[in-house]
Amino acid sequence: MYYGELLLVGLVWGCTYALMALGLTLVYGLLRILHVAQATVFTLGAYVGVLTATQFGSLTLACIAAALTAGLIGPLIYRFVYQPVLNQPPFVPLVASIGIVIAMEDGFRLIFGPYGKPFDHGATLSASYGVGGLNVSAIQALIVVIALALVVALNVLATRTRVGIAWRATVGDRAMAESFGIDVQWMRYLCFFIASVLAGIAGMLIGLLNGLVEPGMGGVVSYKGLAIIVLGGLGNVQGTLIASLLLGIVESFGGVYLGDYMDRDAIAFLCVIVVLLLRPHGLFGHSR
């Protein structure tokens, strides 16, 4: 079942991209900022996850620790880096964001060492199941399940809670939301909190999948995340989700069939160029 396996692999990649890209699109939707520094909280989540798991032996605890640490740092980045420059031209927060990514890659190397930390997923996650002729590993299943759960949770939050509705109002029309008494500042903190939690969990999951946590692991994922949110239509959550899954699958098959002509990473970016040439506002975007 060669194609089935490639499809599954692509789906799993797509799920991890989705977690990253969701955060990016949420931030963009609210603030028009390309939050490349997601990479930093992604990697931080991975390191916290691996250290907690090694120390306490519990992956659940590790996941919570990763999510909370990341969730704490994200809003801090907003407060100290983005907030002061909100009224500057868009390249300013973007360049600052890139600066954070570059600085922290070195930072992680200095704190945690250059060799990377092996991530032992323990006996339970080493299992694999045969599902209709396909070999599905426990980690792959876990990633899909967690991603699904998070997306559903986010959807419920956005549509059925007061906080969620307030947030959507703020995204739609800030001035109007403010006039209804919504604290825009808190909405922003919430936005970064959620985006960072997603990234931190994604980081830990990728660390598990790779078996290895490295200082530079966030970079390319974050840049691809940017490519994805452009493809999905900046600020469009559903578009982002679909684009993430599609990209994962394209990379999986493309790696095999286009591998002689280009790098796997380049595939994502080629898609961006091609799609933007045909639909300048992304696959699902709307002109402003």
Partner 1 sequence: MNLTLRTLFICALLAVCLRTAVAADSIPIGFHAPLTGFAAGDGKSALQGAQLAVQQINAAGGIKGRPLELVVEDDQARADQALPLANKMIGRGLRIVISGSYSAPTRAAAGVFQKAKVPYISAYGLHPDITKAGNYVFRVSFTGEVQGKAAAKFIGDNLKRHRVTLITLDNDFGQSLSAGFRDVASRFGLTIVSERTYAMGDRQFGSVVASVKHDDPEILYVSGYFFNGGPLVAQLRAGGVQAPIVGTEGFDTQDFIAIAKDAAEGVMITTSLDRDSQAPAMRHFIDDYQARYKVPANMVAAATDTAVTVAAEGLRRAGSDDTAKIRDAIAGIRDFDVATGRITFNSHGEVLKAAQIQVIRGGAFHHLATIDDPVLLAPPAN
Partner 2 sequence: MDYYLSVATFAALNVTLALGLNLITGFCGQVSLGHAAFYGLGAYAAALCSTAGLPFPASVLVGVLVAGGVGAIVGFLALRVREDFLAIVTMAVGFVFLGVVRKQRWLGAEMGIANIPSTLSPLAYGVLSVGAAVGVALLSLHIRRSWMGRAFDAVAQDEDVARSIGINVARYKVIAFFLGTAAAGLAGAIYAHLAQLVVPDAFNFVQSITILAMAVVGGLGSTLGVALGAIALTLMPELFRFVNDYKLLVYGALLVGVMRFSPRGLAGLVQRFSGRALP
CA distance 103 to 72: 19
Q: Which of residues 31-70 bind partner 1 (CB under 8 A)?
A: none
String of contacts with partner 1 for each residue 161-200, x by CB under 8 A: ----------------------------------------
Structure-block tokens of residue 273: 């160029």
Quick one: what does residue 100 bind among partner 1, partner 2, none, with the CB cut-off 5 to 8 Å set by partner type?
partner 2
Query: Minimal CA–CA distance to 233: which of 158, 287, 155?
Result: 287
Chain-centroid distance of CA 123 in Å reads 27
- Which of 54, 91, 263, 286 contacts partner 1 by CB under 8 A? 263
Is residue 112 a contact residue for partner 1 (CB under 8 A)? no
CA distance 244 to 117: 27
CA distance 225 to 222: 5
Quick one: what does residue 114 bind among partner 2, partner 1, none, with the CB cut-off 5 to 8 Å set by partner type?
partner 1
SS3 for 90?
coil
**Per-position b or e across 63-100, b if 16+ CB within 10 A of its CB:** bebbbbbbbebbbebbeebbeeeeeeeeeebbebbbeb
Cβ proximity to partner 2: between 32 and 286 the closer is 32
Candidate ranges 91-99, 178-186, 187-195, 250-258; the one touching partner 1 (CB under 8 A):
250-258
Is residue 252 a contact residue for partner 1 (CB under 8 A)? yes
Helix intervals (H) in 161-263: 162-172, 174-179, 184-210, 218-232, 237-257
Candidate ranges 48-56, 163-171, 189-197, 246-254; the one touching partner 1 (CB under 8 A):
246-254
Cβ proximity to partner 2: between 120 and 265 the closer is 265
Residue ranges in contact with partner 1 by CB under 8 A: 2, 5-6, 8-10, 12-13, 106, 109, 114-116, 118, 120, 126, 128, 135, 137, 139, 206, 209-212, 214, 216-217, 220, 251-253, 255-256, 259, 263-265
